[in-house]
Amino acid sequence: MVSISFNLTTFYKNLLLIALIFFMGIGFANSEKIKSKLLSLEVSYFDTVTKSLIIDETFPDDFKSKLNYWFNNRVKVNGVEGNMMFYTSNYIQKITNISEGKRVEISFNFRVILEKPTLSQKKQIKGKVNSFGSITGTFSLKDFDEIITNTQFDVISRLSKELKSVN
C-alpha cells in the first residue's frame, strides 16, 4: 500500500512562487518588447562632443525611462567640439471617453540646443510632438495600458523622425 502525504501549505507556497515567476516574466517580456521597438528607430547624429538630456518633472517615470533609453541608444554625437542639450517639457497625457471606448493623447515640447564655443555658434531646434491611440469594445486594464505604452512609443518615434529631418 502506498501512502501519499499532501501538505497544503507547501502546495500554496509553490503555487504562489510559480505565479510570481510567470507574472515577472510577462513584465520583463513587455519591457524587452518596448526596448527592441525603440532600438528599431533610426539613429540621429549631432556634430558635437557631448550630449545631455533634461526631462522636466511633468513626465511620468515609465516614460522618462523610455525616453532615456531612446536618447542613450539612438541619439549619437560625432563631432570634434561642442555640446548638445536636449530639453523636454510640458508632458500632457489626456484620456477621453469615446463611443464604446477610450482615447489616449500624448504630447510634449522639445528643444535642442547645439553650441560650438570656438566658433561662437548656437543652433536651436524647437518643436512639439504628439500622438494618440484608442481602444473600443470590451477591453481589460492590461489592454488599455498597452494602448498607453504604444502611444508613448509612437510619440518617441515621431520625435526621432522629426530630429532626423531637421538635422
> Residue 10 burial (CB < 10 Å; 0-12/13-18/19+)?
exposed
Number of domains in the chain: 1
The per-residue pLDDT for 129 is 96
Task: Report the 10 Å Cβ neighbour count for 106.
Answer: 22
* Domain presence at residue 7: no
* Domain presence at residue 63: yes
Q: Look up the CATH number of the domain holding residue 126.
A: 3.30.160
Cell of 28: 520583463
* Domain presence at residue 22: no
Spans of the chain below 70 pLDDT: 1-40, 167
* Domain presence at residue 66: yes
The per-residue pLDDT for 24 is 42
Instruction: Find, among 142, 148, 85, 95, the residue nearest to 116 by Cα.
Output: 85
Which residue segment(s) compose the domain that 87 sits in? 41-166
The per-residue pLDDT for 28 is 39
Q: Name the average pLDDT for the chain.
A: 82
Instruction: Find, among 44, 120, 46, the residue nearest to 80 by Cα.
Output: 46
DSSP string, 9-67: HHHHHHHHHHHHHHHHHHHHHHHHHHHHHHHTSPPEEESSSEEEEEE-TTS-HHHHHHH
Contacts of 104 (CB under 8 A, 6+ apart): 93, 94, 95, 132, 133, 134, 147, 148, 151
pTM of the model: 0.74
* Domain presence at residue 117: yes
